[in-house]
A and B are shown apart, each in its own frame.
Chain A
């Protein structure tokens, strides 16, 4: 790789991906809702996927990156399902999806 690979297109995709990551982290910090937390995590993973595609483009190895991305999508779905299951059970126990209901563990 050299700096010539960074043209206007790749740099704008890079900036876009990092912006989505920052937006997701902002949501994680500000939100009080368990479902929104899960959505923010998913949005962040999408941004990461975009970044990986960009990496494949810059490094000129799209074939490898494509197989990575399919694997990542599978892993991500599994994580989202488990997290949603935990959120549903929290709702059943606490009667709300508010994150401030999760403060029983303090030392």
Chain B
């Protein structure tokens, strides 16, 4: 491995770690002033190296394993493992942090920016670590780091709503980690290890062994991850945390944190390590369909812009879980692509929510109307994102949703595919209701002097919508490369 490769790999973990130290060593006066620029630059660097690494991995179709300062050849040494899926998640994380920084520039109170930047960098560090680890226990540690930062971020403004959302998130998250650890204890009793490869080896060599504890452990892990991801029976905290968080934190949470903490691990454990693991598939399928339908129908009944987005998140994450449950290579590719697309369109919609809240002072859609003329950029990017979320061709959301439904149909889950298709029509319905109430219709006189939001907010919205549009061309190219490699 040459120096450039090594630099790229180090930038995922060592660069944010060093950045936290440097940022805190600066005098507070300086760090307050450069806070947001610092975060923008850092996330841009990580984003660039993640994209470079993604392209390399896509062309070679390989994985990389590396350690930081220790010798990874030593016995029982842990190391980082990076394949295309993890690399894509790292790129999404960097992009979401970049957009959150752009939104924070104008919307966050100046004295909060210092804390925000620190916590956002640590979240980026934790997620980058989480996607590169090779055992369940290290995964838990990074999950806890990301979780703690997310509690503080939701309550950043110390208003009573934020504290309430944060406490609810803490409660569900504590339950999730307890479940996760109980599951790990049971798995450990059976296999004697938590390394992904050894769990896989255990399953392939001994079908005669006593399995019961292993299965019980898997159930606990599954429930823990579903709580973290906010899949339907355990979704209670999602709308509250999203609605009460400051705008830039909502972008971060909706864009990446919930997905990386819960959904990525579901893809990794139940998609790659243990595909088609008997009854787990059925449980995942039931959770997924519940989340898809419940999220879509509840979003119809909401009146707060951010709350609609939160329920829509539950519904969209349901699609990813459905793909994990189906478990064929085609479905997993669909799941990863939908992961990316969800980051793009949900990030963009939260950026628009910030613009609307800052200009009009409210997010209740019954009090809004006719903003389309005054806020053209916000309006257009919001319409593009919603069309992508609803799966209208040729936008990028169409490809991933189409792949998931197609894979479910081909794998024989025809009823599930039909339900997912119908729920996707409901998605169009609730987003049409949202767009009509906010951007179209006759404009209200109290909003007559509303202007377009600030430059950095517009930049974030434009970047995310441009990527949504570019995805309509890029995704077929990526799919054809994968097909040429014989993966799907």
Contact = CB atoms under 8 A, between A and B. Distances in A.
A24 B271 CA distance: 32
Given A55-B188, A102-B163, 14 more contacts: A34-B167, A41-B171, A44-B175, A45-B174, A51-B185, A54-B185, A59-B191, A79-B148, A93-B158, A93-B159, A93-B163, A94-B160, A105-B165, A107-B301
A61 interface: yes
A53 B298 CA distance: 43
Contact of A3 (B141, B161, B210): B210
B378 interface: no
14 contacts: A1-B190, A1-B209, A28-B171, A28-B175, A37-B171, A41-B171, A51-B185, A52-B184, A72-B181, A83-B174, A86-B163, A94-B160, A102-B168, A105-B243
Contacts of B83: none
7 tightest A-B CB contacts, nearest first: A59-B192, A55-B188, A55-B185, A51-B185, A75-B144, A41-B174, A102-B164
A86 B164 CA distance: 9
Interface in A1-60: 1-3, 21, 28, 34, 37, 41, 44-45, 48, 51-52, 54-56, 58-60
B189 A58 contact: yes
A68 B137 CA distance: 7
A2 B178 contact: no
A82 B151 contact: yes
B122 to A, nearest CB: 12
Contacts of A52: 181, 184-185, 188
Interface residues of B, number: 50
B165 A82 contact: no
Contact of B167 (A79, A86, A107): A86
Interface in B390-409: none
Contacts of A86: 151, 155, 163, 166-167, 170
A60 B190 CA distance: 11
Contact of A75 (B141, B166, B304): B141
Interface string B134-178: 000100110011011001100100111101111110110011011
Contact of A2 (B191, B210, B301, B302): B210
A44 B160 contact: no
Contacts of B16: none
Main SS class of interface, B: helix
Contacts of A3: 210
Interface string A64-94: 0100100110010011001100110110011
Contacts of A75: 140-141, 144-145
A102 B170 CA distance: 13
Contact of B185 (A48, A60, A90): A48
Contacts of A68: 137
A24 B148 CA distance: 21
A37 B175 CA distance: 11
Interface string B300-330: 0111100100000000000000000000000
A104 B137 CA distance: 37
Contact of B163 (A37, A90, A107): A90
A18 B244 CA distance: 35
Given A21-B182, A41-B174, A59 B189 contact: yes
Contacts of A78: 144, 148
B240 interface: yes
A79 B152 CA distance: 10
Contacts of B148: 78-79, 82
Interface of B: 137, 140-141, 144-145, 147-148, 151-152, 155, 158-161, 163-168, 170-171, 174-175, 177-178, 181-182, 184-186, 188-193, 209-210, 213, 239-240, 243-244, 298, 301-304, 307
A84 to B, nearest CB: 10
Given A3-B210, A78-B144, A89 B168 contact: no
A105 B209 CA distance: 49
Given A1-B210, A107-B307, A90 B189 contact: no
Nearest to B308: A107
Contacts of A44: 174-175, 178
Contacts of A72: 181
Given A1-B189, A90-B167, A104 B160 contact: yes
A88 B244 CA distance: 18
A96 to B, nearest CB: 12
B144 A79 contact: yes
Contacts of B304: 107
Contacts of B152: 82
Contacts of B167: 34, 83, 86-87, 90, 102
